[in-house]
Structure 1
Amino acid sequence: MPGPALTPFHSDPSLPARVDVVVIGGGIIGVSTALELAERGQSVLLCEKGQIGGEQSSRNWGWVRISRRDPREIPMMIEAIRAWDDMDRRTGRKTGYTRTGILFTAPTDRTYAQFDRWTRHLAPHQIECRMVSGDELDRLLPGHRMTVKGALYTPLDGRAEPQWAAPAIAEAARAAGASVLTGCAVRSLDMVGGRVAGVITERGRVACDAVVLAGGAWSRLFAGNAGIDLPQLKVLNTVMRTTRVEGPETSVWADGFALRKRADGGYTVASGTENTVDLVPDSFRLARRFLPALREDWRSLRFRLSSRWREEAREPRSWRPDEETPFERTRVLDPAPSQRALRQSWADAGRAFPFLAQAEVVQSWAGLIDVTPDAIPVISTIDALPGLHIATGFSGHGFGIGPGAGRLMADLVTGAPPIVDPDPFRFSRFLDGSVVRPDHGF
């Protein structure tokens, strides 16, 4: 089942013998980290087992938002938006980034009050974020037929094109001096004297001083083979795109759907509330750690038993450097979209916006989101394995925040003063007795 069409990206032909840093994973986080490091004069190798941006980084909604984020992410998202503002110039390529604002609709007095309380998190940063209703909402969403109390509106929010962005940033990293290899899985770390001395890839060994694991949905498996218990699960989200049609520029989230204008004139449509969770062996291994999140967000999750149980149960959890790995057997995760989510979100979007009757759905796909128990990422050094750094678990928020996360990760690798406080994203929060749960900011 083909996923969305990506900007073509051609791999470098050969593996360098030595670099300063190896980045594992060619999604938005990995390529942003590689660009930051290369621009600082570090020699970098980025290894991607499949294609640049081939998994969730090209399959997401394309939103670049600060609104309704976990408050712990806000400082990093501010930095990310600054980076997006300059990204086309910096890369010399189109990413589709534009500021259009995003509206989160509030169907009830309760949700209206919750969203209104959330606005206080942006007030210290002098970022406009307010509740709108009535005529103002109608001007922002002309022709809508929703019955809502109002909406949270943040003009700073915007969008970019997921199929363009990661390849553009990867090309810029290469122009800055990084080596970028696709179809090249990293099998394992090479440890000497208790610290990272290199990596073993399917094409051979590369010596390095530091490794950044930015493997998205694969990160837990790779980390586990290195002896690191990374609590991360996968959640499936389904997306569709339409033909070109005239409609609002402002993106909108509602109970049944999410909608944003695309650069090609069509729309990306997804469910605003439903994510599919395939029950797998890790669901039970990690159940206790994820319980606080499930208590808060269970209404947005649809659990099912599918073929993924069998697939992941058969998947090896450890291997030798000379053995074929799961990363080589599955180059690109391309799960089937949820037909239920497609039907429901398209019907709900059509009722809210009659103009969609003039559009056709031309493609649908799904992606697997890497989620943590508190729904914020790990961006951290790993004390137990000196030289290893992890940037993963972005919990569906990674595309927009990617350039900010890449900068923070590069700061941690190089020892530069961090652009934002990295403490909320430390891996050790899962080990030191910290309370680990999502914070919706209400």
Structure 2
Amino acid sequence: MPGPYVDPFHGDADLPAKVDVVVIGGGIIGTSTALELAERGISVALCEKGGIGHEQSSRNWGWVRISRRDPREVPLMAESLRLWQGMDERIGRPTGYTRAGIIFTCADEESLAQHERWGRHLEPYQIEHRMLSGQELADMMPGSRFDVKGALYTPTDGRAEPQKAAPAIAEAARDKGAHVLTECAVRGIETAGGRVSGVVTERGPIACSQVVLAGGAWSSLFSNRFGIDLPQLKVMNTVLRTKPLENGPSQALWHKDFAFRKRRDGGYTVASGHENIVDIVPASFRYARNFLPALKSEWASLNFRLAGRFLDEIRIPRSWAMDEASPFEYARVLDPKPSKAMADKFLAALKRAYPLFEKAEVAQTWAGYIDVTPDAVPVISPVEDVPGFHIATGFSGHGFGIGPAAGRLMADLVTDRPPLVDPAAFRLSRFFDGSKVEIISGF
């Protein structure tokens, strides 16, 4: 079965000859960046090789959370919470956003203490959060039998619908004057006088002075073609959605064995709380040293496999001519096969812990590739060696909720405005300037 149904978006028929900025990638980050630029009166073309939001931007859990984020992301996510609250009114379309709260359960006293300490990162932003006892959690979700000591509860967190958000934001960007082109892969960038002068797409060239690469899992391949080293790998996550379920909780909840959140249609999105699949591919060896600290930190949650994806990627050329079809034209959408064994496991665990879900009927199961960086923190950064070229990628499974603020920060960097937050933690150069790779997120 293909990936989740995404609200249809029809791209523009005509390719502009010239714009100020070309944004590559039509996920939540690319569309948010395009909207920000268009609202500032900047002429922009967004080029997507497939459909708007068809990869990880529609396949994620739909959580809009500040809770339990890497502290380096907290200032940006605080801004994103504010942007989400006014998003539907701003763009004139529904995204399914609602502020329903998110709960992170704590299995033992040590976990409780860790979550309580983490909550101090929210104090400067006056964001409501509190620790729940096991009994308080049971009272909040009657009939549940979570075997936990307590939980971190952040009422200001929320959710939105991934299958609606990116297309809605893209439509709003077009309302503001952006060109939005689908099935229009960018083959590469062109330079003149040492800086960006345009891009070459499969439909022809577009002259521009700035480019933003928001290509998700494809960003490293694109960057490497032009001599820009971007350490990035992929992690596969399996997700299912249920049919509508009566009397279910409105809060989203994370447990080490499962995670769920209510959908707009009354069903639930359900996934594993910590397990993911990592396909061993050629890039795994290329970036092994970069990712060694992450492997040590997250080893227990990663299931490594050597399967067909290795052969798929070894066949992908790392260099191509601009007048020939690029790899992006041969793989419009990354649509990995979900793991039935994993889905069965996390759904069974949820039913044991919360018998309400015994009535849940599975409507669809899908998988998606999460693009990750060595420190699990995104790159939102200019590329110093190629003036005019910027990268916004590597959101490591945290991109949907933070997307609107990431787009605003990227637009600030492109237009030389004072940045929304200090962008130092997101600079590309941190991987090469001798900085220590720190894995701070997760418990």
Tell me whether the two structures share a fold, i.e. TM-score over 0.5. yes
Secondary structure of the residue aligned to 2:234 is strand
Secondary structure at 1:389 match in 2: strand
Whether the 8 Å CA contact 2:143–2:355 is kept in 1: the answer is yes
Other structure's SS at 1:144 match? coil
Query: Matches of 2:59 and 2:307 in 1, distance apart?
Result: 21
> Are the aligned partners of 2:15 and 2:203 in contact in 1 as well (CA < 8 Å)?
yes
Offset of 1:348 from its aligned partner?
A: 0.6
Distance between the aligned counterparts of 1:359 and 1:433, measured in 2?
Answer: 50
Q: Which residue of 1 aligns with 2:381?
A: 380
Aligned to 2:422: 421
CA-to-aligned-CA distance 1:198-240 (integer Å, 9 cap, x gap): 0000000000010000000000000011110100000000000
Structure 2 CA distance for aligned equivalents of residues 37 and 47 of structure 1: 14
1:213 is matched with 213
Q: Distance in 1 between matches of 2:150 and 2:136?
A: 10
Deviates more, 1:109-118 or 1:302-311: 109-118
Q: 1:30 aligned to 2:30? A: yes
For the structure 1 residues 287 and 82, does the alpha-carbon distance in structure 2 shift closer, same or farther, using more than 3 Å as the test?
same
Counterpart of 1:178, as a letter, is: A
Which digits, 9 at most, give the CA deviation of each residue in 1:102-148, with x for residues without a partner? 01101111211111111111112211222101442123222211110
SS in 2 for 1:13: coil
Q: Structure 2: how far apart are the matches of 1:47 and 1:175?
A: 16
1:350 is the counterpart of 2:351: yes
Equivalent pair of 2:138/2:145 in contact (CA under 8 Å): no
Who is 1:97 aligned against? Answer: 97
Please list the CA deviations of residues 267-321 of structure 1 after superposition, one character each: whole Å capped at 9, or x if unmatched. Answer: 0000001010000011011000100111111111110011000000110001110
1:6-405 paired onto structure 2 within 5 Å: 6-246=6-246, 247-405=248-406
CA contact (8 A) 2:338 2:365 kept: yes
Q: Deviations over 1:44-77 (max 9, x none)?
A: 0000000000000000000000000000000100
- 1:141, 1:250 within 8 Å by CA — same for their partners in 2? no
- TM-score calculated relative to the size of structure 1: 0.99
| 1:415-434 deviations in Å (ceiling 9; x for gaps) | 00001000000001011100
State the secondary structure of the residue aligned to 2:429. Answer: helix
AA paired with 1:179?
H
**Cα displacement string for residues 67-103 of structure 1 (whole angstroms, at most 9, x for unaligned residues):** 0000000010011111100110011111000011101
1:172 Cα offset (Å): 0.2
1:413–1:261 CA distance, 2 compared to 1 (3 A): same
Q: Equivalents in 1 of 2:120, 2:278: separation in Å?
A: 32
Provide the secondary structure at the position in 2 that maps to 1:409.
helix
Secondary structure of 1:190's partner?
strand
Offset from partner CA, 1:22-65 (integer Å, 9 cap, x none): 00000000000000000000000000000000000000000000
In 2, distance between residues paired with 1:80 and 1:24?
22
CA drift of 1:388 comes to 0.2
How far apart, in 1, do the equivalents of 2:428 and 2:163 lie? Answer: 30
Quick one: distance in 2 between partners of 1:427 and 1:284?
20
Quote how far apart the aligned CAs of 1:357 are.
Answer: 1.5
Contact 2:134-2:148 within 8 A present in 1 as well: no
Say whether residues 1:435 and 2:436 are aligned partners: yes
Query: Shift of residue 441 of structure 1?
Result: 7.4
Which deviates the most, 350-359 or 311-320? Answer: 350-359
Structure-1 separation of matches of 2:142 and 2:33: 39
Measured against aligned partners, the alpha-carbon deviations of 1:244-272 in whole angstroms (never above 9, x if no partner) come to 11210010000110010000000000000
Where does the alignment leave 5 or more consecutive residues of structure 1 unmatched? none
Inter-partner Cα distance in structure 2 for 1:368 and 1:147:
31
Deviations 1:359-400 (A, max 9, x none): 210100000000000000000000100110000000000000
* RMSD of equivalent CA atoms: 0.9
Tell me which amino acid in the other structure corresponds to 1:228: I
Please give the alpha-carbon distance, in whole angstroms, between the structure 1 residues aligned to 2:131 and 2:340.
Answer: 34
On the 8 A contact 2:134/2:151 being kept in 1, the answer is no
In the alignment, the residues of structure 1 paired with residue 167 and residue 389 of structure 2 have an alpha-carbon distance, to the nearest angstrom, of 25
In 2, the alpha carbon distance for the partners of 1:95 and 1:430 equals 35
Following TM superposition, by how much is the alpha carbon of 1:438 offset from its aligned partner in structure 2, in angstroms? 1.6
The offset of 1:194, in angstroms, is 1.2
TM-score, length-normalised on structure 2? 0.99
SS of corresponding position for 1:244: coil
**What percentage of residue pairs aligned between the two structures are identical?**
67
Distance in 2 separating the partners of 1:368 and 1:15: 29
Answer with 223-232 or 133-142: which moved more.
Answer: 133-142
Letter in 1 for 2:270: V
Q: Which letter does structure 2 place at the counterpart of 1:333?
A: L
* Separation in structure 1 between the aligned mates of residue 287 and residue 225 of structure 2, nearest angstrom: 17
The answer to whether the 8 Å contact 1:140/1:250 transfers is no
Structure 2 segments unaligned to the other structure (5+ residues): none
- Letter matched to residue 341 of structure 2: R
Which amino acid in 1 is paired with 2:150?
A: G
Cα distance between partner residues in 1 of 2:172 and 2:52: 13
